[in-house]
Structure 1
Amino acid sequence: MANYIRLSENKRRLRKKNYKEMIANVKPRVDDTSPKLNIREALRAPNLRDDCNAFERIRRINNELLRNVNMVSRIGGQLNTFRDKMPTVARSRVPYMVLQKRLLEKDNEKFGQLLKTIGTTLDTHVDPHLLRRVKKDSVEFVVPAQILAKYSQLQMPPYSQLRRLLRPVIFLDFYVKGLRPAGRLTVQLYTEACPQVVLAFVRACHYRDKNNILVNRLFPGLWLDCCLQLPEAQKIKPERIEYDMRALDHNLPGTLSFSLDHQDALRQNALRFSMSLKPLRVLNGKRIAFGVVRSGIKVLDSMQVFGMKKSGKLTKEIIVSDIGLLATK
Structure 2
Amino acid sequence: MPSKITTLAQTIHFKNKKKKLYNISPLFQYNYYKHRCRVKNAKKFIDNAPPILHLTNIMNLKNNYIDMSAISGMMRTNTEMLEFFGRLNIFGRKESWNDSHDAQWRYSRLAFMRRAVEAIEKENQYIAKRVLNAQKKINTHLKPLSASVGDFRTPKEILAKYKSEVILPPRCGDQHLLLRPIVYFDMEVVGLYPIGRFIIQLYTEAFPQAALALVRTCKEQKLRKLRLVRAFPNLWAEFELRLDAKDTALAADSHIEYDKRALSKNFKAGTLSFSLKHIDTLRKGILSFALSFRTLSVEMKERVAFGVLIRGKRGLYLLESNGTKNGKPMKKVIATEMGVSSKI
Q: Same fold (TM over 0.5)?
A: yes
Would you say 1:282 and 2:284 are equivalent positions? Answer: no
Task: Tell me the CA shift for residue 162 of structure 1.
Answer: 3.8
Equivalences, count: 279
Bigger CA radius of gyration: 2
Would you say 1:245 and 2:256 are equivalent positions? Answer: no
- Contact 1:243 1:288 (8 Å CA) reproduced: no
Distance (whole Å) between structure 1 residues aligned to residue 222 and residue 197 of structure 2: 16
Would you say 1:208 and 2:221 are equivalent positions? Answer: yes
Indicate the SS of the match to 1:151: coil
Match of residue 170 from structure 2: 159
Match of residue 188 from structure 1: 201
Task: Tell me the CA shift for residue 170 of structure 1.
Answer: 0.3
Unaligned runs of 5+ in 2: 6-34, 83-95, 136-145
Distance (whole Å) between structure 2 residues aligned to residue 189 and residue 84 of structure 1: 85
Q: What is the root-mean-square deviation in Å for CA atoms of aligned residues? A: 5.1
Would you say 1:140 and 2:153 are equivalent positions? Answer: yes
Distance (whole Å) between structure 2 residues aligned to residue 104 and residue 228 of structure 1: 56
Structure 1 pair 56–268 and aligned structure 2 pair: CA distance change class (3 A): farther
Which amino acid is the alignment partner of residue 146 of structure 1? A
2:309 to 290, 293, 302: 293
- Contact 2:184 2:199 (8 Å CA) reproduced: yes
Distance (whole Å) between structure 2 residues aligned to residue 53 and residue 313 of structure 1: 66
Deviation by residue 1:246-270 (Cα, 9 ceiling, x = unmatched) = 4534434222122242367557754
When structure 1 is superposed on structure 2, of 312-321 and 42-51 the one drifting more is 42-51
Task: Tell me the CA shift for residue 274 of structure 1.
Answer: 0.5
Structure 1 pair 299–103 and aligned structure 2 pair: CA distance change class (3 A): closer
1:169 to 153, 178, 182: 182
Structure 1 pair 257–97 and aligned structure 2 pair: CA distance change class (3 A): closer
Indicate the SS of the match to 1:261: helix
Structure 1 pair 297–97 and aligned structure 2 pair: CA distance change class (3 A): closer
- Contact 2:183 2:338 (8 Å CA) reproduced: yes
Unaligned runs of 5+ in 1: 6-18, 67-79, 117-132
Indicate the SS of the match to 2:262: coil
Structure 1 pair 112–289 and aligned structure 2 pair: CA distance change class (3 A): closer
Distance (whole Å) between structure 1 residues aligned to residue 170 and residue 299 of structure 2: 34
- Contact 1:306 1:315 (8 Å CA) reproduced: yes
Would you say 1:198 and 2:211 are equivalent positions? Answer: yes
Task: Tell me the CA shift for residue 215 of structure 1.
Answer: 2.6
Match of residue 163 from structure 2: 149
- Contact 1:238 1:260 (8 Å CA) reproduced: no
Alignment of 1:1-329 (within 5 A): 1=1, 23=39, 25-26=41-42, 37=53, 39=55, 43=59, 52-59=68-75, 101-102=120-121, 105-106=124-125, 109=128, 134=147, 137-143=150-156, 144-149=158-163, 151=165, 156=167, 158-160=169-171, 161-175=174-188, 181-230=194-243, 235=248, 240=253, 242-246=256-260, 248-249=262-263, 250-253=265-268, 254-262=270-278, 265-266=281-282, 269-276=285-292, 277-279=294-296, 282-284=299-301, 286-297=302-313, 299-300=315-316, 303-308=319-324, 310-314=325-329, 318-329=333-344
- Contact 2:189 2:332 (8 Å CA) reproduced: yes
Indicate the SS of the match to 1:57: helix
